[in-house]
A and B are shown apart, each in its own frame.
Chain A
Amino acid sequence: DQQVKQNSPSLSVQEGRISILNCDYTNSMFDYFLWYKKYPAEGPTFLISISSIKDKNEDGRFTVFLNKSAKHLSLHIVPSQPGDSAVYFCATLSNFGNEKLTFGTGTRLTIIP
């Protein structure tokens, strides 16, 4: 049972335009949502997060939006840069149990120069 879904395995965006990556989750008990970026042969790197009590968090070019009623979050990158080309994973965290991260399957973002 996939609790966190990223339905787009890949996305291509022109440099300078906005990249929008989407994520859906099924468990309303999730309290915290994160985005990680991963380059080949490296571990995931934390990018940005949002608590369930907020609906938006912004950090520079990166903004995460949370729609709790739809159980949906998105990551906006603007303007997109070639260095943003990577695989992006959304992840969720619950305040229950051992707070382990549950990851989606990832979206490969390619920024076209």
Chain B
Amino acid sequence: DTGVSQNPRHKITKRGQNVTFRCDPISEHNRLYWYRQTLGQGPEFLTYFQNEAQLEKSRLLSDRFSAERPKGSFSTLEIQRTEQGDSAMYLCASRPDVVLTEAFFGQGTRLTVV
């Protein structure tokens, strides 16, 4: 296992289009997180899964955003009707089901909305 994998690495889309990103976590990790990072800011929490259950969503996650983890393995993050303000790096992280341990991040998906 080579770590958390995210696809695609880069996505350029026109405003109003839908985009979907995929995250494959480290295989034995139950917990999966999505973060968003914009220039000059730290990663901001978007949503969290424990196995297939989505347990928390940030207020940053508007109704245009939806995330799934159907079988408790990989996860997808979809953005509908993209806006220029959605341009950011989208990061996925996973952690084992052990209290207070570090999360491992993927390389991120850079979204540019034009």
Contacts and interface: CB of A to CB of B under 8 A. Distances in A.
Contacts, number: 65
A103 B42 contact: yes
Contacts of B99: 95, 99
Chain B interface secondary structure, helix, strand, loop or mixed?
A: strand
Interface in A78-113: 89, 91, 93, 95, 97-106
Contact of A97 (B4, B33, B56): B56
A3 to B, nearest CB: 11
Given A43-B107, A43-B108, A46-B102, A98 B56 contact: yes
Interface residues of B, number: 27
A70 interface: no
Interface stretch (B14-22, B43-51, B60-68, B71-79): B43-51
Categorize the interface residue count of chain A. 20 to 34
Contact of B91 (A31, A44, A51, A98): A44
A32 interface: yes
Given A44-B105, A97-B56, A98-B55, 8 more contacts: A4-B42, A36-B105, A43-B6, A45-B105, A46-B103, A89-B42, A91-B42, A100-B56
